Amino acid sequence: MSDPGITKTIMIERIAANLLHRNGIQRVLGRLDEACVTALRQFILIGANPQEKHVDRLLQFGLVIDGQVPDDLAKVCRPLFVKQVLRQFPAISEPCMPSTFLKTVLIAVAIHKNASAKTTYSKKNCLKNVAKSALLPHDDCSVHCALDYLESEKMVTWLKYENRYCLAATPELLAWFHNDTLKNLRYFYSWIIHKTEMQPADKLVVSLGRMQETSNSWIEKNVFSHMMRGLSMDWLYRLGLIKFWQPNQHETYIQLTPEGWYLSTSKYPLVWEKGLKISADSEIFVPHNYDPMIVALMNMFCKLTANDYFLVFDLDELHIRGSRIYSLTTFLEAIQTRCEELPSVVQYQIEAMQN
């Protein structure tokens, strides 16, 4: 008697071969109703389990076997389905919302720079001082989230002098500044997802990373309608991992931010390779969606003077004490390699610092 497992494997291979031969998959998809095709598309793209009525229909055509789409079929169907839901829009210029992780970086730098050195009679006032130094509203929930994370990872600690409080950096925070961006992103968002029990949100970020091709690629929001609640999408938006684009009242598209893209794909975003702007007045302009650890580097050496459309740092107010964590050479090289255009007066200024 033949092995049932082997017989089943052969059957799957033959069904797949038949569907893949001479555009067989397109012919089969043409015979399915729209709801069934949508169910198959969501199953392949985001892993959303189809309803039983759709499973029965998909089984008839050999598209689903034992609750799974055979790998060969999924490999062929995926690009077809991605093409249906993906749109290319030219670069869209709009204000960037700072991510929760970027705010955490700003808070961490402020604490490292002893923003709370002036002790206060309450922890609340101490945190206000730190938020003010980072140019963040003290009542921003992200500020409290940042502090929760830094405390939970033992990167900052509360000190008490008689009846007064202040926040202080620990050796763990100094080590954290030396980590690469991807490592810090992964630890931070894993902590948030675990704390809030928002695992489906993590799944959405991974799915978007598989579909989004470039910074001009946008995916139809309704692809994720059976996977995510609107609340979860809004939550990811507030974290700064996704953004929305609505070209008209009837269509809404979704895209990973550079931070979300890096977290999902582990590929360093092209927009981070340059992106810094510097004026002849020695002001460094950094977009809010830039590499957060490069922001930390800028903030260690320069005074943060504005946090509005851009983060603005004053190169004239250079804090050499930043060299406790980063070297001056690393800082200057970042400016030279990441600025889109370097004014000659700033170039002379940098050369003078290097000598």
Q: What is the DSSP string of 336-355?
A: HHHBS---HHHHHHHHHHH-
Where b means 16+ CB within 10 Å and e means fewer, 328-352 reads: eeebbebbeebbeebeeebeebbee
pLDDT in tens, 85-100: 899 887 777 777 899 9
- In the prediction, which pLDDT does 218 show? 93
CA 256 from centre of chain: 7
Mean pLDDT of 102-107: 97
| Alpha-carbon Rg for the chain in angstroms | 25
The enclosing H or E element of 132 equals helix 123-133
pLDDT in tens, 176-232: 999 999 999 999 999 998 888 777 778 888 889 999 988 889 999 888 876 655 557
> Which pairs from 31-37 meet CB under 8 Å and 24+ separation?
31/61, 32/57, 32/58, 32/61
Burial class (CB in 10 A: 0-12, 13-18, 19+), 118: exposed
pLDDT confidence tier of residue 1, bands split at 50, 70 and 90: very low
pLDDT in tens, 11-34: 555 655 565 555 667 777 778 888
> Phi/psi at 159 (nearest 5 deg)?
-115, 145
Whether the predicted pLDDT of 262 surpasses 70: yes
Dist CA 52 CA 48 (whole Å): 12
> Highest-confidence range of 200-214, 240-254, 307-321, by mean pLDDT?
240-254
- In the prediction, which pLDDT does 278 show? 93
Whether the predicted pLDDT of 146 surpasses 90: yes
Q: To the nearest 5 percent, what fractions of the chain are helix, strand and coil? A: 55, 15, 30
Tokens of 278: 């510097």
- For residue 205, give the nearest of 265, 291, 145, 290 by alpha carbon: 265
- In the prediction, which pLDDT does 57 show? 83
Tokens of 307: 């946090």
Quote the mean pLDDT of the chain.
Answer: 84
C-beta separation of 339 from 273 below 8 A: no
The enclosing H or E element of 58 equals helix 52-60
- In the prediction, which pLDDT does 117 show? 60
Name the E strands within 66-155. 86-88
